[in-house]
């Protein structure tokens, strides 16, 4: 179970992994980097910046609500991610353009194979 998937041992969060690898991730709840995190401590579990503590994440959330500043930070973060995604897309398109010729050749080969073997298109009702 979970042998081939991405599973973490109990008690290890993705954040701990990120820290172990020295990757600084922005806080999911306020969009700021962990050093500048403005999130308040959860009264129930004592976590900072854990989306699971906020209303609407789970049925069993910890009843916290996002402040206007947190929501603004989240939006900023979402915009930054979108920016990055668009840059990545542009790079990916560039890559695809280079790969496209090979891809077209391959597609043509497949189409030709279909013409050579029209039985693929025959339905059962044909004589
Ligand atoms: Zn935060
Ligand atoms: Zn909590």
Give the integer Cα–Cα distance in Å for 93 and 100.
10
pTM of the model: 0.55
Q: Which ligand is nearest to the CA of 53?
A: 2
Residues with CB under 5 A from ligand 2 (ion): 42, 44-45, 47, 53, 62
- pLDDT: which is higher, 113 or 120: 113
With beta carbons less than 8 A apart as the criterion, state whether 114 and 121 touch: yes
Residue 15: predicted pLDDT: 60
Residue 76 has pLDDT above 70, yes or no: yes
% of the chain residues with pLDDT over 70: 73
Q: Which ligand is nearest to the CA of 30?
A: 1
Q: 106 alpha carbon to ligand 1 midpoint, in Å?
A: 49
Question: Tokens for 46?
Answer: 């004592």
């Amino acid at each position: 179970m979970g042998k081939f998937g991405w599973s973490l041992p109990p008690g290890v969060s993705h954040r701990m992994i990120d820290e172990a690898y020295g990757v600084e991730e922005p806080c999911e709840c306020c969009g700021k980097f962990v050093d500048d995190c403005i999130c308040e401590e959860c009264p129930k579990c004592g976590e900072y910046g854990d989306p699971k503590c906020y209303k609407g994440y789970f049925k069993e959330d910890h009843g916290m609500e996002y402040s206007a500043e947190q929501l603004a930070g989240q939006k900023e973060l979402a915009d930054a991610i979108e920016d990055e995604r668009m840059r990545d897309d542009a790079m990916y398109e560039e890559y695809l353009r280079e790969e496209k010729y090979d891809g077209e050749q391959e597609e043509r080969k497949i189409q030709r194979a279909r013409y050579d073997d029209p039985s693929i298109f025959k339905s059962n009702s044909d004589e």
